[in-house]
Amino acid sequence: MKVLLLGSGGREHAIGWKLHQSPLITRLISCPGNPGLAEIGDLTTDISPTDAEAVAAYASAEGVDLVVVGPEAPLAAGVADALIEVGVPVFGPVEYAARLESSKAFAKEKMAAANVPTAGYGDFTDRAEALAYLDDIDGPYVVKADGLAAGKGVLVTEDIQEARAWVDDCFDGRFAEAGSRVVIEEYLEGNEVSIFFICSGTTAVPLQPARDYKRLLDGDLGPNTGGMGCYSPVADVPDYFTQWTRTHVAEPVLRALEEEGAPYTGFLYVGLMLTEDGPQVLEFNCRLGDPETQVLMPRLETDLLELLHAGAHGSLEGADLEWSPRYAVDLVLASPGYPEAPETGLAIIGLDHVTEAIVFHAGTEIVDGKLLSTGGRVLNVVGLGDNIAEARADAYAAADLIQFRGKHVRSDIASTNGRE
């Protein structure tokens, strides 16, 4: 099978790495990919992954058997719709269904229709109405730009003036079109958990849990990031909780979309808050987590290509995933300045010294034969072991072998004192 993988980060390298292990694969093409993906397949940079028509024309001309979409932007741009139009199977939802992520108001409407527990909210396209609503409620205040804002569109604050200013920022264009609609939510308190599913039609097959560390610095200090590391399995997220999320969240939402004539095919990421009154959904994403994928793919024993191909053909029912009992720990090697202003163009050395851990590229490129950083999260190293301490030791030993100026790695990932 010829597979086209869209995306260029650590998540996509991990997905590609796993797809590449399938006996069914004949060729892996990544668009645009990264130097890690280049080692296991071809890259194409002639087309943009968010140019739906160009992706469809390319996949069709190349005789691609399956397109797998890593990030959310191509889905919101209608890549899956365009591929379906030209008859190329795709694992990723159509634009309408992908609004579960690209519109917070849409997600709220679907949750209401499916009776999914979530925070109460107001939804506004009018600034004055949003501000009046804020004045009527008590803090803490949760104000969200409706659309895709690279994880930066949400403000949680006790300060009403700050909340009002966020509403103004949204309507004044800080998040462009994504801020032209604003959702204001009831504040929820508790621990956060994310559960991922492989979905097709009304079937949702859960992946095992992984826990990520969102803050930049040790002890969960410093600014929020995309994720600085993670581990799997997670002892305190029991299997019954995953099953609860499947039957009370994922499947009802999938049924609601199917009833509307927009069945959902693709990964589904459910973010939950474990409150005193039970779990409540915070958000949906139409993609897998990054860096969670980097610890899940090495532990997954089932053939990913077979699964995603079945998903794209609407035949996931009865699928059951096999997992390695081994532990995986992922460390993110970040650039100085991340997340605000990451330095790029830093020369990276030492990758060839790593023998015990898996290296997934996230923000790298090769220029004149040299590996350089291109973004904030540069590389992931994943250690594996029969227990968490072994996996952790493996990952940290590998992270020490790789060098670039100002390399930042949290030192407490998967340790007993690093927990959020």
Q: Which does 156 bind (CB under 5 to 8 A by kind): ligand AMP, ligand GLY, none?
A: ligand AMP
Place of tokens 């909780």: 241
Q: Which is nearer to ligand GLY, 71 or 263 (CB)?
A: 71
For residues 137 and 357, give the distance between their C-alpha atoms in angstroms, rounded to a whole number. 51
Question: Given candidates 289, 339, 342, 375, which one binds ligand GLY under the rule CB under 6 A?
Answer: 289
User: What are the backbone angles phi and psi of residue 371, rounded to the nearest 5°?
Assistant: -85, 125
Place of tokens 């029969």: 386
Contact code string over 224-263 relative to ligand GLY, x by CB under 6 A: ---x------------------------------------
Question: Given candidates 292, 303, 330, 394, which one binds ligand GLY under the rule CB under 6 A?
Answer: 292
Q: Which does 123 bind (CB under 5 to 8 A by kind): ligand GLY, ligand AMP, none?
A: none
Q: Which is nearer to ligand GLY, 65 or 290 (CB)?
A: 290
Residue 265, by phi and psi: left (phi above 0), alpha (psi -120 to 50) or beta?
beta
Using rule CB under 6 A, residue 154 touches ligand AMP? yes
Closest CA to 57 of 252, 48, 224, 205: 48
Instruction: Tell me the closest approach of the beta carbon of residue 38 to ligand AMP, in angstroms.
Output: 32
Q: Which does 282 bind (CB under 5 to 8 A by kind): ligand AMP, ligand GLY, none?
A: ligand AMP
For residues 93 and 250, give the distance between their C-alpha atoms in angstroms, rounded to a whole number. 14
For residues 169 and 72, give the distance between their C-alpha atoms in angstroms, rounded to a whole number. 24
Instruction: Tell me the closest approach of the beta carbon of residue 140 to ligand AMP, in angstroms.
Output: 7
For residues 168 and 185, give the distance between their C-alpha atoms in angstroms, rounded to a whole number. 16
Q: Which residue is nearest to ligand AMP (CB)?
A: 283
Using rule CB under 6 A, residue 109 touches ligand AMP? no
Q: How many CB atoms lie within 10 A of CB 89?
A: 20
User: What is the Cα Rg of the chain in Å?
Assistant: 21
Residues 260-299 that bind ligand AMP (CB under 6 A): 271, 282-283
Q: Which does 289 bind (CB under 5 to 8 A by kind): ligand AMP, ligand GLY, none?
A: ligand GLY
Q: Which is nearer to ligand GLY, 292 or 365 (CB)?
A: 292
Using rule CB under 6 A, residue 7 touches ligand GLY? no
Closest CA to 307 of 329, 286, 322: 322
Using rule CB under 6 A, residue 212 touches ligand GLY? yes
CA atoms within 13 Å, Cβ hemisphere of 265: 26
For residues 245 and 133, give the distance between their C-alpha atoms in angstroms, rounded to a whole number. 31
Using rule CB under 6 A, residue 36 touches ligand GLY? no
Using rule CB under 6 A, residue 192 touches ligand AMP? yes
Closest CA to 97 of 313, 293, 204, 253: 253
Question: Which stretch in 14-22, 114-122, 286-294, 354-362 sits in contact with ligand GLY by CB under 6 A?
Answer: 286-294
User: What are the backbone angles phi and psi of residue 277, rounded to the nearest 5°?
Assistant: -95, 15
Q: Which residues bind ligand GLY (CB under 6 A)?
A: 212, 227, 289-290, 292
